[in-house]
Amino acid sequence: MPSPPPAPRRTWSFRRKLALQFLLLPVLLVSIELFYRGWQGANGETYRSDEALASMQRIAASLDGSLDSATAEKPREGEVSLAEVFLHPFLGFAPENFRVQLASDAAYFRRPVAEKNYDLMIVGGSVAARMCQTATMTLVESLHADPRIGDRRVQPIFYPTGGYKQPQQLNLVAYALNLGFEPDAVINIDGFNELALSNYNARHASHPMHPSLGHWGHLIQGGALDRESIDFLVGMRQAQRGARQLADLAQGWGLQRSAVLGRFALSRLERLQEQYASDYERYVVHLSTTRENPTRRGPDYAADLKHVLAAAVRNWKESSRSLSALCAARGIHYVHALQPTLFDEGSKPLTEAEIATGKAQDGWVEAVREGYPRLRKTGERLRAKGVNFVDCSMLFADVKEDLYVDACHFNEAGSRLLASEISKAFLASMP
Amino acid sequence: MSRLPTSAPETAADVRGRALAAGAQRRWSLARKLALQCALLPALFLALELGYRGWQRFEGHPYRGSEALAEIRRVAGALSDHLAGAGAEHPRPEREEPDARTFLHPFLGFAVEYFQDSFAKDVAYFESDAAKANFDVLIVGGSVAGGLCENAGMALVEGLRADPRLRERMVRLHMYATGGFKQPQQLNLVSYVLALGMKPDAVVEVDGFNELALSNYNALHGSHPLHPSLSHWLHLVGNGQFDREGLDRLIAMRRAQRDAAALAERTERLGLHASAILGRWSLSRLHRVRRDYTGAYQAYVEHMASSENATLRGPSYEPSLENVLELAVRNWSESSRSLAAICEARGIHYLHVLQPTLHDAGSKPLSEAELETSAAQDGWIEAVRDGYPRLREAGEELHRQGVHFVDASRIFAGVREDLYFDACHFNAAGHALFAREICGAFLASLP
């Protein structure tokens, strides 16, 4: 009897196979995710989704804030954008919100409440701006605790601006006084920009004392763009838009929760940041080499590091002397703080993360390394001349935790440390 | 056969006819007539010239060729320099004039191009030993301060050197006064040059008119009163506003500028200024061209100012005259306080001088010629009339606060001669008086 034919092998239909693939896909992704996390962990680089999201937003925000009024995004509702800068007759450039802020603060000083309050004006660059954003309470509370201020409300009048360097702070305070401001105190936080951006200027055919070319150069070109300029601007704009879209997409879809997708988004953002920086650098070089512009060039100067630093340090010192004098003439308490910075040797034991994010152009690095010791020495001379100068440059010398988020800016913990140090010096020098 | 003439008795009519024929032969040809006309033309012109000069002298305005030429150069020069960087003529090298074109400056709003060289040279000078031995005076202000240096710089230097405290030192003036400057441009300029490395022994600030008149002009045209003078600065920041209307105005301005330059050059080359008639004619044409220019510029400013430009507008403000003057006077006063403080911190002697000005009521008995040339925009006049008494008052307050302030606004009050040649600028005699006053105040306050 013939054996019965073997039962036909039960083969899965194409649909079932497809369904299985779909079911297995998440498992595969989870396996990859787990494997990647395990591998990262083994390499000592534990992935944290909140950090990844913060980095994505930081990169997108820094690109948003980089290109000036011509191409920057309009601030969204309820959001203050530092990107909108315009040409200012006495400050070189100023953020768009200054127009409203100056008018409303001038109006505030005409009201009786201003006389009752203790009005604290803060000027400086982006480090000062971050401190105002993240550590205002530290500063205000410690001032409030002092019996000399007592019942008076400490009213912050904040004017720090990314990219500002002397004499912009000096001119800003003088201009505000002319508009009718009557602050009780002025704090000026500076140091890094006065060296790094002055050297950057000098290397790009612009006087070291001029406003930062990277922040200002675009505003003085008069809109006469050649093809190459347009190409660079288009490249920067594409990077800017791409970064903002990617960061929003990642946040909207929660991509940061996955180590694989989060890292992918982050690395794509970093590439866009590099593309932007490269186009921007080439654009500035293009502008500085193709047009003889007296506005950008300024008076003749020696472009070697030694002379540039001499000019930068003198500008820093003389501007502070002038600020101190015009405050003293009005009974305004003035404090000048030298901010810490990453490339100042011995100023902080750097963590791996700080080393990884602490990249900067050679011109910045050499200016800080050579210049910071001179600022410290000159600061001593300022103090000898009666200026309330406080050297905060070694404030992080013993801090082993992450404080820097890039070559010069601090995280919240760093800003709090700086605010606390400044408030101590402020109260110690207060009459 | 030839016909023989027949003889007939001569009548009276024949005699008259022959005489007429002879006379017709003696009549001048057209060429001779023309030649005579040409020969007579210079005589006629000379007669006209002499008649015109006589009449002018009789009227009390004797014509002087050198003065007319100077006036032609001044008007054409002012027009040429007026339109900023983009439009101004390059200086003619044979005259060795400094380059007065303006450019956008990050801390001063605008600056004249030769400042670039002056800054670099002066910084180098202040590093030299000579600078330590000399007495260096930095002069800042607007065009009146500029005129003072040009017309009475030597008188100022000699006046200072006559003092025993300065006799042994060479007095050197560093001229940074700039047409159209108003506070806080002078304040920013001084703090800028100090940060550059200049170390003057003294700073003299001469101001008043621009701080009121140009602030009010700004406010009337939608720009903040503290901003740099709109008419000096706008062109440098108004890029991108080259629509048809803007371009039309610019073309009209450039045409007027070129016409003025060509007219001045032709007058000088052909010596037309030597003739009272041709000199006056050239001058009147030049003034007509200037009027055309001013009209086009005014329209251009209004057109540009109508655009929504954050740079031009500045912070919001209340544009009533009362409020504008309050802002302008505070700006003037606070800038001087700051300048005094900055100088004092470095041991620099600071003197602040309030300049006299024509429309300040009671400041001078105006001559006919002064009245004739004193025309100015209403905005300037109302700002000066209402503002100068406030500046005097604020000046007294500055004085009480320890600022070396000198009110020179009334120094022409007893002078009947011509001193002003327009609404705010003086001639050489005016500057001599002004320099004497400044010198006296400077030495009186010098420690």
Classify residue B332: in a domain, yes or no: yes
H/E element, A359: none
- Enclosing domain of residue B113: 81-239+312-445
d(CA A419, CA A429): 15
Smallest CA–CA distance from A311 into chain B, residue: B196
Classify residue B266: in a domain, yes or no: no
- Which of B104, B186, B198 is the mutation pick for testing A, counting most A CBs within 10 A? B104
DSSP 3-state helix, strand, coil percentages of chain B (rounded to 5)?
A: 60, 10, 30
| Interface contact B109-A216, CB threshold 8 A | no
Res A265: pLDDT: 87
Classify residue B36: in a domain, yes or no: no
Q: Which residues of B touch A384 (CB under 8 A)?
A: none
Identify the bridge partners of residue B112 per DSSP, sorted by sequence position: B102
Distance of residue B351 Cα from the nearest chain A Cα, in angstroms? 16
Side-chain-facing half-sphere of A376: CA atoms under 13 Å = 16
> What residues contact A1, with CB distance under 8 A and at least 6 apart?
none
Q: The tokens 């920067």 sit on which residue? A: A236
Greater confidence (A313 vs B64) lies with A313
Classify residue B289: in a domain, yes or no: no
> Where are any strands of DSSP class E within B291-411?
349-354, 405-407
Alpha-carbon dihedral angle through residues A257, A263, A269, A271, given to the nearest 10 degrees: -170
What is the 8-class DSSP label of residue A255? Answer: G
What's the CA angle centered on B275, arms B272 and B281, to 5 degrees?
70
Distance of residue A65 Cα from the nearest chain B Cα, in angstroms? 18
Greater confidence (B22 vs B383) lies with B383
- Please name the amino acid found at residue A313: V
| Interface contact B228-A89, CB threshold 8 A | yes
Percentage, residues of chain A above pLDDT 70: 90
pLDDT digits (tens, 9 = 90+) for A298-320: 888 999 999 999 999 999 999 99
The tally of domains found in chain B comes to: 1
Residue B344 has a CB neighbour count (10 Å cut-off) of 17
> What residues contact A136, with CB distance under 8 A and at least 6 apart?
A156, A158, A419
d(CA B306, CA B303): 5
d(CA A118, CA B407): 36
Least confident of A285-299, B119-133, B421-435: A285-299
pLDDT of B99 over the 60 cut: no
| Interface contact B184-A178, CB threshold 8 A | yes
Classify residue B70: in a domain, yes or no: no
pLDDT of B15 over the 70 cut: no
Helix pair angle (B209-220, B321-344), 10° resolution: 140
DSSP string of A6-41, one letter each residue: PPPP-PPPHHHHHHHHHHHHHHHHHHHHHHHHHHHH
Classify residue B269: in a domain, yes or no: no
State the CATH number of the domain containing residue B135: 3.40.50.1110
What's the CA angle centered on A66, arms A65 and A68, to 5 degrees?
90
Res A120: pLDDT: 96
pLDDT of B254 over the 80 cut: no
Res A340: pLDDT: 98
pLDDT of B379 over the 60 cut: yes
Nearest to A103 among B104, B316, B337 (CB): B316
Smallest CA–CA distance from B85 into chain A, residue: A294
Assign B412 to helix, strand or coil. Answer: coil
What is the pLDDT confidence band of residue A129, given thresholds at 50, 70 and 90? very high
Nearest to A174 among B115, B187, B240 (CB): B187
Please tell me if residue B192 touches chain A, with a CB cutoff of 8 Å.
yes
Distance of residue A103 Cα from the nearest chain B Cα, in angstroms? 5
Smallest CA–CA distance from B196 into chain A, residue: A315
d(CA B122, CA B118): 6
d(CA A24, CA A47): 25
Least confident of A362-366, B97-101, B116-120: B97-101
This model of the complex carries an ipTM of 0.75
Q: Do B140 and B270 meet the contact criterion of CB atoms below 8 Å apart?
A: no
Distance of residue B426 Cα from the nearest chain A Cα, in angstroms? 29
H/E element, A279: helix A259-290
Distance of residue B107 Cα from the nearest chain A Cα, in angstroms? 4
Res A64: pLDDT: 67
Q: Is A121 left (phi over 0), alpha (psi -120 to 50) or beta?
A: beta
Res B2: pLDDT: 42
